[in-house]
Structure 1
């Protein structure tokens, strides 16, 4: 504490000095209260950092965070500080938690560091227990260590089957996703094949270029009745047999003419059907070119 020598002051300032001397305890109390509030805020910040820090190891079951927003008016009016019994029960829980964590450290040095850190946290939590506000439905049984351990044992017995069921569900979901991916690939392949089949069917349904007629085309004088189309018949050679006593000069000519006509008839019978075969071959060749050649190649041919 720093001690300063009191200096003499004029009479006119004696009143102000007295009033200042009276106010010194008040300022000391205010300074002490501010320091205490500052320490509380610092402890709260440190505890918030410790409690909100995410653990590195996530391989063990842990509770998920759940936040409920409660109005400050309800907390102030209906919540109350814990009783001494509840405070003792909470301290017992802190001690049990600290003792159950420290033996898990195999390294002695790390165990010592963990014990020091946990003791600091526990001391800060214990200082805040008396200043905590609990809801009206919170009872002493909620902080009883034996009941909490039994409750944890029951929850763990329920958690193990639920965890196994969750793993099975994850495997089923993964298997269903793989099957869905295979079905999607098969569906895409079927859609591609369907498009190809429709294009091929559309291509086959198109008329041959030789059969394509311009729009608004009308047959005018080109029908079978209009041109008098009729099947050809062979030459009747019996007309030459009706001549009686032909002219000697014409007899030789008629005989040569008969033989020529018979030869022509025989030649015609031999080549009969070749025209149809040629037409069929042309149509088949044109169909092959139409299906396999490009438009430029087809037009050039």
Structure 2
């Protein structure tokens, strides 16, 4: 009855979604639709797992960068403290021991401490060896995960085809009651 209604609606030209497969009958095969849904869920699970791995790696690297930034801040603070200590020690020297080089040394120390500020605010550059090595390692991880996903992409379709072939063989060799008992449980 339902199939007659569908046929009459299709023949009358009522809007109906286009077929997704080679044959329109495949769109109404509930088992194939369920198998396709399971295959899509499996693929989604793999992609979500890969995404979780990338997010974990990102969190780890972010924590590492924050630790390095804290260490850099500590080094900058120590350098500024040392520069001010040297300036104070130079001022406390006896006038005969002070030279004009002390003023030049003061300028050099200022330049050395200000270089860290400039380097800290500079944009990231791929010429940095550590950053390049990190990017290369991260690219390797991403390529590896993509390769792993590609290896299992065709498996779900092959399993579905194998299952369909086994069911077709059982259907042709068994009686209907036996077939339903085995396949449907």
Structures share fold, TM-score greater than 0.5: no
Return the structure number with greater helix share: 2
Superposition TM-score, scaled by structure 2 size: 0.40
Q: Which has the larger radius of gyration?
A: 1
Superposition TM-score, scaled by structure 1 size: 0.27
